[in-house]
Chains A and B, each alone.
Chain A
Amino acid sequence: MAGNTDPLSPRAKLAVTAGRAAAAASRAVGRGSGSVIGGKVALRLDPDLLARLAQHLDVVLVSATNGKTTTTRLIAEALRASGPVVSNALGANMPAGITSALAGGSDAKYGVIEVDEKYLAGVARDVTPKAIALLNLSRDQLDRAAETRMLAEKWREGLAGSKALVVANADDPLIVWAASSSANVVWVAAGQEWKDDAWSCPSCGGVMQRPGDDWFCGECGFRRPTPSWALSGDHVLDPHGSAWPIKLQLPGRANKANATTSAAVAAAFGVPPQVALERMYEVQAVAGRYDVVSFMDRELRLLLAKNPAGWLETFSLIDPPPTPVILSVNARGADGTDTSWLWDVDYTRLAGHPIFVIGDRKLDLAVRLEVAGLDFQVCENVDEAVRKAPPGRIEVIANYTAFQDLRRRVGN
């Protein structure tokens, strides 16, 4: 469908132009990419702009606690096989940022949009998406975000009337709870390493039983749906039972899961898995994540981990000991100001790695590692940590603002 036959109304056009001007001004004074500020100006002039911009596009929404930026990128690459794509590739995922991204894609056929978890239901109402990909839900920034189950409940209510095809992870009970109000769901067995937010049945509160990869509630019968797509080792299994090899430059099991979901979304738009997966290979780094950079004559791989589930997935993809690891944690507004979550991360998985600790909250991390019985060194900054690290590529794992600090310092 899509196409650009319906011209924007004069008011919407004016809003887009004003938004672009504000974005350009913001860039000119050196305040970042300008995408959010542009979107805010545009939304103020025309509150229906988001809906108007989207009506010319086949829209795919992507939401999750972890992996939404990467998956948005993978889906965008896959759909480019079928037509031009506009996307909020830099992760500006609230309504203003989304509006700004869509305003930049007047020739696009597809809009592939990452949406912050808290805004998914509203954005889904505004843009009438063709498909919605739901990856996982887990604890994140607890001192400011909604409770995880409440979030699933909001999604469930918001998606109940949607005509979108929902592509959802069958291995995350909270995602299944959120998605199963939708009429049209494709279940993907994408796996879920982190289980500690779904031991309690989202439907009745009963204790969840989780034998092997299966899960069910012993009390109300809520259970894992039968998936039609699956991640199996290094392959995507499609609904016909064909296995397609995943060859990603992005590391780790979680990204294979993201690729599997992306292939299922692409198939819904007529892009075959083989074509979709080949295109995904082109993605090297996503907004700096997974990027390998040179710094002080050393190679550093930059890894972002924002919450316990993210740290767990990251530990499973780093090179084995004796690869040195630098950990950096901040607790500024965007990170959540409570560092208690560090204790939900199993740092004993780093045993054997030389560990260097930096960031605003290095002392919280130091106590965490001391209690885990690990050897570590606390350093003032990344320069000192790199200087002290033994030879070899260094894995650097940081939470949100610590990651931004890091990218500024190492010149990426």
Chain B
Amino acid sequence: MSDNSLRLVWIYPDLLSTYGDQGNALVVERRARQRRLDVQRLDVRSDQQIPTSGDIYLIGGGEDRPQRLAAERLRRDGGLNRAVANGAIVFSVCAGYQILGHEFINDLGEREQGLGLLDVVSTRGEGERCVGDVLADIDPELNLPPLTGFENHQGVTHLGQTARPFAKVRFGKGNGVGDGYEGAWNDTVFGTYMHGPVMARNPHIADLLIKLALDVNALPPVNDHWYEALRQERIAAATQPA
């Protein structure tokens, strides 16, 4: 991270941009610019190399086959692992979250190797698909207000020793294991099942990533009026199911 510029990398929009998660890139970009940072956003297609010099990498959800293709190409590329080794921050959603783990079940029903950046293993749930509004409490260490999001997944994710639960669910399913956990994180790598997109409903997560990238403890405030209004509405919706 050099002085006032922030390099934001959006991974594989051709494969993993099916559920509106590019909104996360838009929110991070917008909130960084509102803090007068010079943002360089790089959308990297799956036939291009992943740059290793990014500050923040975002990876979204997608359908089962594109998920397998993305995992194959990211493994072959190796750039994301190198970037993380250099201290880069990664935030991943749904299919992207599973790819960051050790393995997941692909569209052919086989175990597919992930990138091993998060100590998690994903399988396919036997029960009903998890769909709906979620309310959860984020790991207190991250010092963030409650998490609101929309989940839509069949996957179930088990956390290993070095992955911490990103949040504890109050309403909704989250990782789907039954332990009430949602998402996972370690020092600089985050994973969640939340769409919405998650940053639109939780702009403080976008700010957290920016702070980690800048290595600062605080950012100048911005006007959060509409975000807050949306948060209140969705939190109410999650707690009063139809």
Same assembly: yes
Q: Does A384 contact B (CB under 8 A)?
A: no
Q: Does B137 contact A (CB under 8 A)?
A: no
Q: A218 to B45: give the CA distance in the assembly, Å.
A: 14
- Choose one: A143, A200, A339, A341; the contact of B14 (CB below 8 Å): A200
* Docked complex: B58-111 residues within 8 A CB-CB of A: 63-66, 69
Does B226 contact A143, Cβ atoms closer than 8 Å?
A: no
A-binding segment of B15-23, B116-124, B165-173, B210-218: B15-23
* Smallest CB separation, B79 vs chain A (Å): 16
- Choose one: A218, A339, A344, A372; the contact of B22 (CB below 8 Å): A344
Q: Besides the contacts A199-B15, A343-B22, what 8 more A-B pairs have beta carbons closer than 8 Å?
A: A147-B63, A200-B14, A337-B150, A342-B23, A343-B26, A363-B233, A366-B226, A371-B26
* Smallest CB separation, A295 vs chain B (Å): 27
Residues in B neighbouring A207, C-beta threshold 8 A: 14, 45-47
Residues of A within 8 A of B (CB): 139, 142-143, 147-150, 196-197, 199-200, 205, 207-208, 218, 337-344, 363-364, 366-368, 370-373
Q: A343 to B18: give the CA distance in the assembly, Å.
A: 10
Nearest A residue to B46, CB-CB? A207
Q: A373 to B223: give the CA distance in the assembly, Å.
A: 13
A-binding segment of B2-10, B49-57, B180-188, B194-202: B194-202
Does A149 contact B30, Cβ atoms closer than 8 Å?
A: no
Q: A372 to B26: give the CA distance in the assembly, Å.
A: 8
- Choose one: A218, A338, A371; the contact of B195 (CB below 8 Å): A338
Does A367 contact B226, Cβ atoms closer than 8 Å?
A: yes
Does A371 contact B27, Cβ atoms closer than 8 Å?
A: yes
Does B131 contact A199, Cβ atoms closer than 8 Å?
A: no
Q: A344 to B200: give the CA distance in the assembly, Å.
A: 13
Nearest A residue to B48, CB-CB? A207
Q: Does B132 contact A (CB under 8 A)?
A: yes
Residues in B neighbouring A339, C-beta threshold 8 A: 20, 150, 196
Nearest B residue to A139, CB-CB? B18
Q: Does B230 contact A (CB under 8 A)?
A: yes
Residues in B neighbouring A363, C-beta threshold 8 A: 226, 229-230, 233
Does B132 contact A337, Cβ atoms closer than 8 Å?
A: yes
- Choose one: B17, B23, B30, B227; the contact of A196 (CB below 8 Å): B17
* Smallest CB separation, B208 vs chain A (Å): 17
Q: A37 to B119: give the CA distance in the assembly, Å.
A: 53
Contacts A363-B230, A371-B26 given: A340-B150 contact, CB under 8 Å?
A: yes
Does B229 contact A143, Cβ atoms closer than 8 Å?
A: no
Does B152 contact A338, Cβ atoms closer than 8 Å?
A: yes
The size bracket of the interface on B is: 35 or more
* Smallest CB separation, A388 vs chain B (Å): 18
Contacts A142-B152, A200-B14, A338-B150 given: A343-B200 contact, CB under 8 Å?
A: yes
Q: A363 to B224: give the CA distance in the assembly, Å.
A: 12
Contacts A207-B14, A338-B152, A367-B226 given: A200-B66 contact, CB under 8 Å?
A: yes
* Smallest CB separation, A379 vs chain B (Å): 14
- Choose one: A149, A205, A343, A366; the contact of B230 (CB below 8 Å): A366
* Smallest CB separation, A177 vs chain B (Å): 13
Does A364 contact B197, Cβ atoms closer than 8 Å?
A: no
Contacts A147-B63, A337-B132 given: A199-B200 contact, CB under 8 Å?
A: no
Nearest A residue to B152, CB-CB? A143
Q: A124 to B27: give the CA distance in the assembly, Å.
A: 44
Q: A223 to B152: give the CA distance in the assembly, Å.
A: 33
**Most chain A C-beta atoms within 10 Å of own C-beta, residue among B17, B20, B26, B150:** B20
Residues in A neighbouring B22, C-beta threshold 8 A: 343-344
- Choose one: A197, A340, A367; the contact of B19 (CB below 8 Å): A340
Does B200 contact A371, Cβ atoms closer than 8 Å?
A: yes
Does B21 contact A340, Cβ atoms closer than 8 Å?
A: yes
Nearest A residue to B149, CB-CB? A340
Nearest B residue to A364, CB-CB? B230
Residues in B neighbouring A367, C-beta threshold 8 A: 200-201, 226-227, 230
Interface string of B218-242 (1 = CB under 8 A from A): 0000000011011001000000000
Residues in A neighbouring B229, C-beta threshold 8 A: 363, 366
Nearest A residue to B29, CB-CB? A371
Nearest A residue to B22, CB-CB? A343
Q: A368 to B230: give the CA distance in the assembly, Å.
A: 11
Residues in A neighbouring B150, C-beta threshold 8 A: 337-340
* Smallest CB separation, B195 vs chain A (Å): 5
Closest CB pairs A-B (n = 10): A340-B20, A343-B23, A199-B14, A343-B20, A207-B47, A363-B230, A366-B226, A147-B63, A340-B195, A371-B30
Does B65 contact A149, Cβ atoms closer than 8 Å?
A: yes
Nearest B residue to A344, CB-CB? B20
Q: A147 to B150: give the CA distance in the assembly, Å.
A: 18
Q: List 17 A-B contacts (CB under 8 A).
A: A147-B64, A150-B63, A200-B14, A200-B15, A207-B14, A207-B46, A218-B47, A338-B150, A338-B152, A342-B20, A343-B26, A364-B230, A366-B230, A370-B226, A370-B227, A371-B200, A373-B30
Residues in A neighbouring B46, C-beta threshold 8 A: 200, 207
Q: A338 to B26: give the CA distance in the assembly, Å.
A: 18
Does A340 contact B233, Cβ atoms closer than 8 Å?
A: no
Q: A392 to B127: give the CA distance in the assembly, Å.
A: 53
Nearest B residue to A333, CB-CB? B242
Nearest A residue to B203, CB-CB? A367
Q: A343 to B230: give the CA distance in the assembly, Å.
A: 15
Does A142 contact B26, Cβ atoms closer than 8 Å?
A: no
